[in-house]
A and B are shown apart, each in its own frame.
Chain A
Amino acid sequence: MPSPAERLPLTGADAFLLAFDTLTRRENRASHLSQIVLRLGPGFDAEGFRRALDDVVRANLICAAPIRRRRLGMGLPEYRLDLARRADGPRFHEHTGGERPPRRWGEAAPLPAIFEERINTLQDASRGGLFDVDAVRYADGSTDLALTWQHMLLDGFGSERFVELLADVCAGKRAPDELPAGDRPGAPPPLELPQSQRERGNMAMSWQRWMSELGQKSVRSPAGPERGVRQQLAVDRVQFADEASAAIVARANERAGFLTPMIFYLAAAIRAHAAVLAQRGERPESFVVPLPVNLRPKGVEGAIFRTHVSLLWFQVDAELVDDFEALLAALKEQRRLAIRSGMIEAGVAAMEYARGAPSRLYGQMARRNLKGELCSFFFAYTGEFCPDRESFCGAPFEDGFGVPSVPASPGSALVLALRGGRLGYTHVRQRDAFRPGELELFQEKLHRDLSG
Chain B
Amino acid sequence: MGSEGNGTWTQERLAELICRILRDDLLACGDDLGPTSKLLDSGLDSLTVTQLMLAVEEETGVWTDESLLTPENLETAETLARCIHEHAQSG
Contact = CB atoms under 8 A, between A and B. Distances in A.
Interface of A: 253-260, 262-263, 293-294, 297-300, 332, 335-336, 339-340, 344
25 contacts: A256-B66, A256-B67, A257-B66, A257-B68, A258-B69, A258-B71, A258-B74, A259-B44, A259-B46, A259-B49, A260-B49, A260-B69, A294-B47, A298-B26, A298-B27, A298-B43, A298-B45, A298-B48, A299-B28, A299-B43, A300-B43, A332-B65, A339-B51, A340-B54, A344-B47
B70 A258 contact: yes
Interface of A is mostly: helix
Given A253-B70, A258-B69, A298-B44, 11 more contacts: A256-B66, A257-B65, A257-B69, A259-B49, A260-B49, A294-B47, A298-B48, A300-B43, A332-B66, A339-B50, A344-B47
A347 to B, nearest CB: 13
Interface of B: 26-29, 42-51, 54, 63, 65-71, 74
Contact of A260 (B26, B46, B63): B46
A293 B66 contact: no
Nearest to A310: B47
A335 B50 contact: yes
A339 B28 contact: no
A297 B47 contact: no
A248 B7 CA distance: 43
B67 A336 contact: no
A160 B44 CA distance: 19
A339 B46 CA distance: 11
Contacts of B26: 298
A339 B69 contact: no
A256 B71 CA distance: 13
**Cβ-closest 6 pairs across A and B:** A257-B66, A299-B43, A298-B43, A299-B27, A299-B28, A299-B29
Contacts of A253: 70
Contacts of B43: 297-300
Contacts of A339: 47, 50-51, 54
A260 B71 contact: no
A256 B63 CA distance: 15
Contacts of B47: 293-294, 298, 339, 344
A258 B69 CA distance: 6
A294 to B, nearest CB: 7
Nearest to B57: A340
Contacts of A262: 46
Contacts of A344: 47
Nearest to B63: A336
A77 to B, nearest CB: 27
Given A297-B28, A339-B51, A259 B69 contact: yes
B43 to A, nearest CB: 3
A330 to B, nearest CB: 14
Contacts of A256: 66-67
Contact of B50 (A255, A258, A336): A336
Contact of A259 (B27, B28, B54, B66): B66
Most interface-central of B43, B44, B54, B66 (chain A CB within 10 A):
B66
A255 B27 CA distance: 26
Nearest to A298: B43
B27 to A, nearest CB: 4
A144 to B, nearest CB: 30
Nearest to A300: B28
A16 B73 CA distance: 38
Given A297-B28, A298-B27, A336-B50, A259 B67 contact: no
Nearest to B47: A293
A299 B27 CA distance: 6
Contacts of B49: 257, 259-260
B44 A260 contact: no
A233 to B, nearest CB: 28
Nearest to A340: B54
Contacts of B54: 336, 339-340
B20 to A, nearest CB: 15
A67 B72 CA distance: 47
